[in-house]
Amino acid sequence: MLIKRRKGWEIPEHLATPEALFLNRRAVLSGAAALAGAAVWPQWAAADADPTASLYPAKRNETYKLDRDITPEDVNGKYNNFYEFGFTKDIYRTVDSLKTRPWTVAVDGMVEDKKTYGIDDLIKAMPLEERLYRHRCVEAWGMAVPWTGFPLSALIAKAKPLSSAKYVRFETFLDAKMAPTQRQTWYPWPYVEGLTMAEAMNDLTFMVTGAYGKPLPKPHGAPLRLATPWKYGFKSIKSIVKITFTDERPVSYWETLQSSEYGFWANVNPKVPHPRWSQATEEVLGTGQRVPTLLFNGYGDYVADLYKGLEGQPLYM
Ligand code: MTE
């Protein structure tokens, strides 16, 4: 007998946000944006001219369901961590200096096909889809986002990694003229993150090019960012310019800054507190509610197997 196991974050249909409601909300939001006009609507709504704009909205992949409403676009777009543009949450005020065209992404290291892609060629060559993902920051807040993008595995298939490649290392741009905080040389710029090859190949690992049915707004890390929803948000590196296949475990920006607080794995776990934040619950942004946090952010059915045999490692920070 075939028994369909309900995955952790799947909830009965009648409790899910009806798509129509979401679409209506989106229409209301974008209508409001149009009415409000450029003078009052924040700069981030106006991305740089984007030759891929007609590819949005992409068809939703219904596999990925939420247990909560989608966070309203304006809440999400005005509460961000993007330290290249400042250390407060309102970087939507300063991020307009990020220039997202022209933009290239180098794929290099231990691969058969090293290549530098123009971002528009890359986006056009990839199978774009929309996915509803939860997003959980180590600061104990969470949200739910309709990302658009492509599975990292699709890019990996093009690059053809050598069998010696064990990790994927991601790097953000380095340009202090564009990103004022990068003038503060005591921080280990550029922002770097990494995954094991098995994590990179996992179905959930998503390269994000859009959100809310449009090209990615600058505060979220246009034109290309990572989404690994079972890990704390700091793993989801923004504005990527380089993807390197390597046999050395990458040392991330945060690990370099404070290795006692931020580790390589960073899997969401309510039982392992960060020195400054309990991880037992999270504030759902835009709702005023706190909800219990789930192991692997509720995505255990997809990813728990990746960590079998690694129990001795500090997998959660
Ligand atoms: N990527 C870069 N390049 N710079 C950053 O400061 N912040 C990280 C991550 N990616 C960050 C980054 C952190 S701490 C979080 S929680 C998420 O981006 C926030 O993503 P959001 O602003 O889209 O919610």
Q: Which of 274, 258, 90, 105 is nearest to 188 (CA)?
A: 258
CB of 82 closer than 6 A to ligand 1? yes
What Rg value do the Cα atoms of the chain yield, rounded? 19
Token pair of 65, please? 């369901």
pLDDT value at position 33? Answer: 37
CA distance 139 to 276: 8
Q: Are 146 and 132 in contact (CB under 8 A)?
A: yes
pLDDT value at position 312? Answer: 81
CB of 81 closer than 6 A to ligand 1? yes
pLDDT by residue for the chain (317 residues), tens only, comes to 333 333 433 333 322 222 222 333 333 333 333 333 333 335 444 567 899 999 999 999 999 999 899 999 999 999 999 999 999 999 999 999 999 999 999 999 999 999 999 999 999 999 999 999 999 999 999 999 999 999 999 999 999 999 999 999 999 999 999 999 999 988 999 999 999 999 999 999 999 999 999 999 999 999 999 999 999 999 999 999 999 999 999 999 999 999 999 999 999 999 999 999 999 999 999 999 999 999 999 999 999 999 999 988 888 86
Q: Which of 308, 280, 169, 143 is nearest to 226 (CA)?
A: 169
What separation in Å is there between the alpha carbon of 80 and the centre of ligand 1?
7
* Closest residue by CA, ligand 1 atom 19: 81
Domains and CATH numbers, the chain: 17-304 (3.90.420.10)
pTM (whole model) above 0.85: yes
Residue 222, phi-psi category: left (phi > 0), alpha (psi -120 to 50), beta (remainder) = beta
pLDDT value at position 47? Answer: 62
Relative to the CA of 138, which ligand 1 atom is closest? Answer: 16
Relative to the CA of 254, which ligand 1 atom is closest? Answer: 14
* Closest residue by CA, ligand 1 atom 24: 80
Choice from 82, 174, 191 to test ligand 1 binding pocket (greatest atom count within 8 A of CB)? 82
